[in-house]
Amino acid sequence: MSTTPDDLDGRFTLLTAVARYDVLRTREVLAETDDEGEGEGEGGDAGEPESVPLGRGEALELLALGEVIARKAVYGRQLSVRSARRAGASWSQIGAALGTTKQAAWEAHKRWIDEQAKREGDPGHWGWDEKDIASARTLAGEPDEEGREEQRRQGTGV
């Protein structure tokens, strides 16, 4: 069986991917500790994960799961950015929440929207139609519009 991020993406949610990753990573760390002689003679608790080294398939699964988690986290982050924009957050506020600049946050979101537009016809991807893309781009706006947005909100009482 092939173990690629694309193979695993449809089989795992973010939560289940993280749980499986944690199990494999813990086993990997415990096996490394035992290899160094630190875990010998301690007996171990019945509730502790087994310290059996990962085989090739599980090591590759661990790598692929890391990529699946990263992809799902980026997707979730961009959905949250969209929610923040919908709630009236400026790009400066979003950039601060992400630990970056407003320009970098806006550019990452714009790239994400462009990627969603490219995936419209991909099998297994719900995709966005042209109306969804236009709506997302309008909501994203431009990073330098925030002064005008704030004035508009104050003028309308929003």
Q: Does residue 80 form part of some domain?
A: no
CA distances from 156 to 139, 147, 149, 153 (A): 18, 14, 11, 5
149 close to 91: Cβ distance less than 8 angstroms: no
pLDDT tens, position by position, 74-89: 889 999 999 999 999 9
Q: Does residue 107 form part of some domain?
A: yes
Same-domain check for residues 56 and 98? no
pLDDT tens, position by position, 24-77: 999 999 988 765 554 444 444 555 556 788 999 999 999 999 999 999 998 899
Same-domain check for residues 62 and 116? no
Residue type, 90: S
Helix (H) / strand (E) element for 86: namely helix 56-86
Q: Does residue 79 form part of some domain?
A: no
pLDDT tens, position by position, 111-142: 999 988 887 666 656 667 888 889 999 999 99
Q: Does residue 77 form part of some domain?
A: no
Phi, psi for residue 37 in degrees, rounded to 5: 85, 5
Stated pTM of the model: 0.67
Q: Does residue 98 form part of some domain?
A: yes
Q: Does residue 81 form part of some domain?
A: no
Domain range holding 107? 88-158
